Amino acid sequence: MLQQEEKPTGNGKELPYRYDGKLKVMGKATYAAEFPVKDVLHAWMVLSTIPSGEVVSMDTTLADRSSGVVKILTPFNAPKLPGIKPQPPAIRKLSLLQDRIVYYNCEPIGLVVAKSLDEARYAASLIKIKYNTTPGKLSFDKRLDQKRPPKQGNAPPKEDHGEETEAWAKATTVLEQTYTTPLHNHNPLEPHATIAMWEGENLTVYDATQYVSGVRQSLAKHFALPLDNVRCIDPYVGGGFGSKGSMWSHVVLAAMAAKVTGQPVKLVLDRTQMFGPVGGRPATTQHIKLGTDATGKLVAMRHNVIEPASVMEDFIEPSAQQTSMLYECKQIAIDTELVDMNIGVQTFMRAPGEATGTAALETAMDELALKLGMDPLELRLKNYAEKDPGEQKEFTSKHLREAYKDAADRFEWSTRPRTPGTKTEGNKLVGYGMATATYPANRSAAMAAIKLLPNGRIAISSGTQDLGTGTYTIMAQTVEQETGIPWQMVDVKLGDSSLPKAPVSGGSQSAASVMPAIQDACKQLQLKLATLAITDSTSPFFNAASDDVLLSNGELRSKSNPSKIEPLSASITRNKGAAIEEKGSGEPSQEAERALSAHSWGAIFTEVAVDKTTWMVEVRRVVATYDIGLLLNQKTGKSQLEGGIVWGISLALEEDSHLDNVYGRVVNNNLGEYHVPVNADVQSIEVNVVGIPDLKFNPQGARGIGEIGITGIAAAINNAVFNATGKRVRSFPITPDKLQAA
């Protein structure tokens, strides 16, 4: 059943490379900040330098007189906004100069608008700010006792299945440990950026976003405009990872400045501003307790998470979520508590919940296997969930067993040394580890439009986004698959809120949501072309039954008599030379959503080498097999999964935003000191997929692949490090100092 590793691509069914690849390689893809806009002014955000308190005064005398300055906005002169706030994910609570309160360090408290960026930035340095400082809530780990239940959030705050005391009494082996992950900041290569322009009461923004119609909706609410007056355009996104799934303060501030100055305004965050004014992934402290009977069968599980939350707004990284469904167990309890902090509002980051949650849970499973004297893979198979134990529902499709087997065989798991610290190569300790990966399969309603153009090309459009994930590629490929019109003849348009509405490109849902709409649009076009043909006496299809006329191979063809064909140019001629347009839509069946649980799965095996002197960890080999339904494109899809794994290596060994306990600033707020893997950190990654379509989930049988790649891998590395060294680190990232001290 497994798809071949080297299945040829570009065979007419799969695009051989990224649809937008050539433009990007040539530097011709236009990102939000790059749109040429006449008379554009440049804005620079003034950020707070205290973590908590209020702004008493802002003296702009010198700054106002500085070269090129057009306008300086502060809490003392900024226009009052109507204050109607939409819900996330369109926005998080923003800082819009509406009051003088400072909630966190590096919070926007002013905006300098000037003729050039340099002039704006210099003038900002001349502003004299006086604060009333109040003590900030800054240390997370020292204030865990101040935890409280969430006020609101996106995670099941507390889940408890079964009779807890009774269940724990049955446990003969209990593993109880605490694991931590640090604050992360997304850092896509393209920083957040906005160009805002007004024409009367119409607002247009070019904005780096994962959700064009969300930005449109949020701006409309903030400025009390009808939705039709606002447009958000963003055809190319230089990465997002969740940071661009919500709209942040700078977008509204740019629009405000454009309104006040009567000129277009461009606001681009610099790298340091990617740590503060936009949210990151909260740190987590995860307490896990697992109990089994003598055979290794889980009888009770508990996963408690404590996280920092901004004093402005609760956000939950739902790290315990997967624990309610990953393994068969009758008693599962999860909950999340928060510790208030003077930090900005936190947000989604790639696989929010499962990335950090599997790092902890899958390390705990390894520790449990060791306690039981069981093989870690055997323990997982022993507790394999045939149906979702939390929701008590069947899965749409689950082939994790096949994934475990395929990856274990390719990795030759059974031949590894089971006793930790026994395999050496010179000064290196070599070890092997494994873990389970998982991420929910999400899908939302989406729409698309299709147009057969007089020149024979076909235009497909949807108000979705491509943040580097391959939406363009898959849209073109789907049109070719549905119509037989070669992808080179397909013009794809996306990233514009004036196009038919599509959901946020978050939760790995774009392919699964938008492609059914495109399939439907192709179907509608076929029906329209058939109707035109069967009512035209000059057509070979005159008077044919409409379901006998197919659109395939890029032409009309009779189903009953395949030799009867008509070129699409005849349809255009029949339509008096005008384009032929149709719309399509797709949405998940609510019935199926209620009845079934939809998730993706993966098995990850890693080999590490740890230097006995420096305790540096080298990830030599990663072998992973995913059950993600049908993989739409072998080349770009596997590359997406590999990218997730690279980020998992990052979570395991490198990423760590250091918030200082005095000022509440990220001290390593740059790509020199905020470490992510470079080529030398990434060696062999071999990804495979099970490839069985999940037709209960969507018509293509394809579940999203954007996020699952980052899950499981951090634990697989951690477990391999333990197998290599006999040392267990429970605080990510696993840095040499922690390993040496362990």
Query: Which one, 349 or 702, has the nearer CB to ligand MOS?
Result: 349
Amino acid in the structure at residue 291: G
Q: How far is the CB of 575 from ligand MOS (least distance, A)?
A: 41
Distance from chain centroid for Cα 399: 23
Q: How far is the CB of 707 from ligand MOS (least distance, A)?
A: 6
Q: Assign residue 7 a region: left if phi > 0, alpha if psi is -120 to 50, beta otherwise?
A: beta
Q: How are beta strands 101-102 and 53-59 bridged, if at all?
A: antiparallel
Q: How far is the CB of 509 from ligand MOS (least distance, A)?
A: 8
Return the SS3 of 541. coil
Q: How far is the CB of 351 from ligand MOS (least distance, A)?
A: 7
**Residue number with the shortest CB distance to ligand MOS?**
242
Query: Which one, 104 or 241, has the nearer CB to ligand MOS?
Result: 241
Q: In the complex, which residues of this chain contact ligand MOS (CB under 6 A)?
A: 210, 240-242, 245, 348-350, 352, 506-507
Cα gap 728→360, rounded to integer Å: 12
Which two three-digit tokens encode residue 76? 């003392």
Which two three-digit tokens encode residue 59? 């003296």
Q: What are phi and psi of 308, to 5 degrees?
A: -75, 150
Q: How far is the CB of 15 from ligand MOS (least distance, A)?
A: 23
Query: Which one, 507 or 516, has the nearer CB to ligand MOS?
Result: 507
- What's the CA dihedral at 232, 234, 239, 242 to 10 degrees? 20
Which two three-digit tokens encode residue 314? 């609760």
Query: Which residues make Cβ contacts (< 8 Å) with residue 346, sequence separation at least 6?
Result: 279, 280, 281, 282, 307, 308, 309, 310, 315, 317
Q: How far is the CB of 89 from ligand MOS (least distance, A)?
A: 8
Cα gap 706→241, rounded to integer Å: 9
Q: How far is the CB of 22 from ligand MOS (least distance, A)?
A: 26
Query: Which one, 348 or 411, has the nearer CB to ligand MOS?
Result: 348
- Confirm if 83 and 204 have CB atoms less than 8 A apart: no
Q: What are phi and psi of 721, to 5 degrees?
A: -60, -40
Cα gap 634→15, rounded to integer Å: 9
Q: How far is the CB of 53 from ligand MOS (least distance, A)?
A: 32
Q: Assign residue 372 a region: left if phi > 0, alpha if psi is -120 to 50, beta otherwise?
A: alpha
Of 422, 507, 495, the C-alpha closest to 461 is 495
Cα gap 305→285, rounded to integer Å: 6
Question: Active site residue: 190, 307, 362, 707, which one?
Answer: 707
| Residue 302 CB neighbour total at 10 angstroms | 21
Query: Which residues make Cβ contacts (< 8 Å) with residue 640, sequence separation at least 6?
Result: 469, 470, 705, 706, 709
Query: Which residues make Cβ contacts (< 8 Å) with residue 711, sequence separation at least 6?
Result: 322, 351, 354, 355, 358, 437, 438, 439, 602, 644, 648
Return the SS3 of 171. coil
Q: How far is the CB of 154 from ligand MOS (least distance, A)?
A: 11
596: part of which helix (H) or strand (E)? strand 596-597
Asked if 201 is an active-site residue, the reply is no
- Burial class of 8 by CB neighbour count within 10 A (0 to 12, 13 to 18, 19+): exposed
Query: Which one, 71 or 350, has the nearer CB to ligand MOS?
Result: 350
Q: How far is the CB of 551 from ligand MOS (least distance, A)?
A: 35
- Confirm if 208 and 31 have CB atoms less than 8 A apart: yes
Query: Which one, 75 or 440, has the nearer CB to ligand MOS?
Result: 440
Cα gap 251→255, rounded to integer Å: 6
Whether residue 733 has a cis bond before it, omega within 30° of 0: yes
Cα gap 249→256, rounded to integer Å: 11
Q: How are beta strands 617-627 and 684-689 bridged, if at all?
A: parallel
Q: How far is the CB of 466 from ligand MOS (least distance, A)?
A: 13
Enumerate the active-site residues. 707
